[in-house]
């Protein structure tokens, strides 16, 4: 058993490594990731490890543990490689995937089913997408899931309850230090609801003491940074807290209750499979462990309902739902693993063929769609186009062939192989689709200013531009700019297109303006729908006459 567990863990680790690290540096930095990276850079440059900053100003909206981890990598290897900086989030996601396997076994599932659950999680779209994007969300849920693993052991009368309480409490604290109460609400509370519903809480004196230790360690350590920041910088912290509270309770990004109901589509290639696994009347008599199936189902649905109650909704907030969803999806996979060759009901046969055959068809269709529809886009990457077409086409045939033979194990592993192939061979083609002919990096400003002229961003600062520039570009109104010109002859000012008229109106007659350059860090052309005007700036010198 031990050797089998080691084998599964190694394979799971390798598959996850492919999913998370292949072509890791290709996608550009988004606004949330930029905020994390800038704060990490300023930790190292300015020593702001506790009272964190963004572009030189207090930044307390998110607790700093993910940023601390990133900053350590940056301090060792520098801040020039996105691949290296994103390894921090990769490591934390690997932790989540491995513990999904471990918890599955603790729940009472077989080693093989736990292994499959880990593979499903690793190849679920929004899990590996978040695991390649160095922002806060995956950190808090990964740490919370590990905490839940130790909490499960405590609730099931662990042989080493105090050790499990300490370890579980530390990971609970790590989750809180990553994104405050988000994961306790979105992942831990639904777990407790599901556990209480299915397994019932049985508190003995010793168990109650251990749970109190677990909670105290998690809450005290988890709240330590917030308490200190509130004490050390009360005005800035109070302002942040008020803003965040208003966002969560007001109409900021408010969506209707049913906004998340298509959540299963975020699992990517497992969309249909996960939907089928959610249909309790269909699957309840087909699973090997009805109690465990009910537990993962309720855990998933409880998380969905709790998140739906919050007015503010974003797709990335769905992340905690997808974790128990992967465990729940494993029950349908396990049913087919054991019974695919002996299915008698036409409905079962059709659903299996439709669920997995569709993925095979997509693999076969890929080269035809790529070369007929997108040939003009990928023509400069013909080698990757040919390699990805070859691999996906024959993997699709592999899936359909063994699906016809009802050899489900090979079908399942074919899906895993296809997903890995997408990340290795197809993902490089993203470069062809992310093309802006007018692109100009903010780093060019350092050459223009020779790092001697201060650079301001008029009225509004975009985190992506600040990150790309490589240093602070202070957001400033005209009063601040004029104040700087008391001691300087020239300052550089970045101006958004929609603010240019206001900028020109407020210029003092004693100052002259010279347009020097522009920056545009968009990855799509100005004519495309994905173009963001906030990532474009004209660059001016403002000079004393």
3-state secondary structure 67-92: HHHHHHHHHHHCCCCHHHHHHHHHHH
**Domain spans of the chain?**
2-183+195-258, 343-433, 444-544
Distance CA 96, CA 19 (A): 14
| SS3 of residue 439 by DSSP | coil
Sorted by sequence, the CB contacts under 8 Å of residue 336 that are 6+ apart come out as 352, 408, 412
Q: Give the pLDDT score at 205.
A: 76
Length of the chain: 545
Distance CA 431, CA 421 (A): 17
Q: Give the pLDDT score at 1.
A: 47
231 in Cβ contact with 52 (< 8 Å): no
266 in Cβ contact with 124 (< 8 Å): yes
Sorted by sequence, the CB contacts under 8 Å of residue 345 that are 6+ apart come out as none
Distance CA 475, CA 316 (A): 28
- pLDDT by residue (tens digit) across 463-477? 999 999 999 888 888
Q: Is 200 left (phi over 0), alpha (psi -120 to 50) or beta?
A: left
CB 405: neighbour CB atoms within 10 A?
A: 12
Q: CA nearest 99: which of 329, 416, 267, 324?
A: 324
- pLDDT by residue (tens digit) across 54-68? 998 899 989 999 999
Hey, which residues does 519 pair with through a beta bridge? 537
Distinct helix (H) and strand (E) counts, the chain: 25, 7
Q: Give the pLDDT score at 47.
A: 93
297 in Cβ contact with 278 (< 8 Å): yes
Q: Give the pLDDT score at 19.
A: 97
Q: What angle do CA 190, 192, 198 make, to 5 degrees?
A: 100
Q: Give the pLDDT score at 252.
A: 64
CB 450: neighbour CB atoms within 10 A?
A: 7
Q: Give the pLDDT score at 347.
A: 92
What order of strands is seen across the sheet that includes strand 490-495?
A: 474-476, 455-458, 490-495, 536-544, 511-520
CA 499 centroid distance within chain: 33
Strands 536-544 and 511-520: antiparallel
Give pLDDT < 50 ranges for the chain: 1
Q: Count Cα neighbours of 200 within 13 Å in the Cβ-side half-sphere.
A: 2
Tokens of 539: 């660059």
The residue written with tokens 């390798």 in the block is 14
307 in Cβ contact with 320 (< 8 Å): yes
């Amino acid at each position: 058993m031990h050797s089998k567990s080691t084998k599964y863990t190694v394979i799971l680790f390798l598959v996850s490594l492919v999913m998370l690290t292949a072509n890791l540096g290709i996608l550009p930095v988004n606004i949330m990731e930029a905020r994390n990276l800038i704060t990490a850079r300023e930790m190292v440059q300015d020593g702001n490890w506790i009272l964190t900053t963004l572009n030189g100003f207090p930044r307390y909206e998110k607790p700093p543990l993910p940023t601390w981890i990133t900053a350590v990598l940056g301090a060792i290897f520098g801040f020039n490689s996105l691949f290296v900086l994103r390894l921090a989030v990769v490591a934390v996601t690997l932790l989540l995937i491995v513990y999904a396997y471990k918890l599955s076994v603790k729940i009472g599932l077989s080693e093989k089913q736990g292994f499959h659950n880990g593979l499903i999680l690793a190849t679920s779209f929004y899990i590996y997408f978040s695991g390649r994007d160095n922002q806060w969300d995956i950190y808090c849920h990964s740490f919370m899931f590990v905490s839940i693993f130790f909490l499960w052991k405590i609730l099931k009368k662990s042989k080493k309850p105090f050790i499990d309480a300490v370890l579980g409490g530390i990971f609970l604290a790590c989750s809180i230090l990553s994104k405050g109460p988000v994961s306790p609400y979105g992942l831990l509370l639904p777990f407790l609801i599901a556990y209480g519903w299915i397994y019932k809480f049985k508190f003995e004196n010793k168990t109650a003491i251990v749970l109190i230790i677990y909670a105290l360690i998690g809450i005290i350590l988890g709240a330590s940074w917030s308490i200190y920041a509130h004490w050390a910088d009360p005005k800035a912290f109070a302002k942040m807290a008020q803003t965040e509270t208003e966002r969560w309770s007001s109409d900021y990004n408010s969506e209707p209750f049913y906004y998340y109901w298509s959540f299963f589509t975020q699992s990517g290639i497992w969309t249909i499979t996960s939907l089928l696994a959610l249909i309790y009347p269909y699957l309840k008599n087909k699973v090997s462990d009805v109690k465990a199936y009910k537990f993962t189902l309720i855990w998933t649905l409880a998380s969905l309902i709790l998140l739906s109650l919050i007015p503010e909704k974003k797709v990335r907030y769905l992340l905690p739902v997808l974790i128990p969803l992967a465990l729940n999806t494993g029950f349908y996979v396990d049913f087919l693993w054991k019974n695919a060759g002996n299915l008698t009901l036409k409905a079962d046969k059709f659903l299996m063929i439709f669920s997995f055959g569709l993925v095979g068809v997509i693999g076969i269709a890929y080269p035809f769609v790529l070369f007929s529809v997108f040939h003009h886009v990928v023509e400069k990457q013909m080698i990757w186009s040919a390699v990805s077409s070859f691999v996906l086409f024959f993997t699709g045939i592999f899936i359909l062939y063994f699906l016809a033979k009802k050899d489900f194990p090979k079908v399942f592993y074919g899906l895993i192989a296809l997903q890995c192939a997408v990340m290795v061979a197809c993902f490089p083609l993203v470069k062809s689709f992310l093309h802006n002919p007018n692109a100009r990096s903010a780093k060019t400003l350092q050459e223009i200013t020779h790092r001697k002229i201060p650079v301001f961003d008029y009225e509004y600062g975009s985190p992506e531009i600040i990150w790309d520039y490589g240093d602070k570009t202070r957001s400033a109104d005209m009063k601040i700019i004029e104040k700087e010109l008391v001691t300087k002859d020239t300052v550089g000012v970045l101006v958004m297109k929609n603010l240019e008229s206001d900028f020109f109106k407020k210029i003092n007659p004693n100052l002259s303006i010279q347009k020097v350059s522009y920056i545009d860090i968009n990855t799509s052309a100005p004519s495309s729908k994905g173009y963001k005007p906030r990532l474009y700036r004209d660059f001016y010198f403002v000079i004393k006459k």
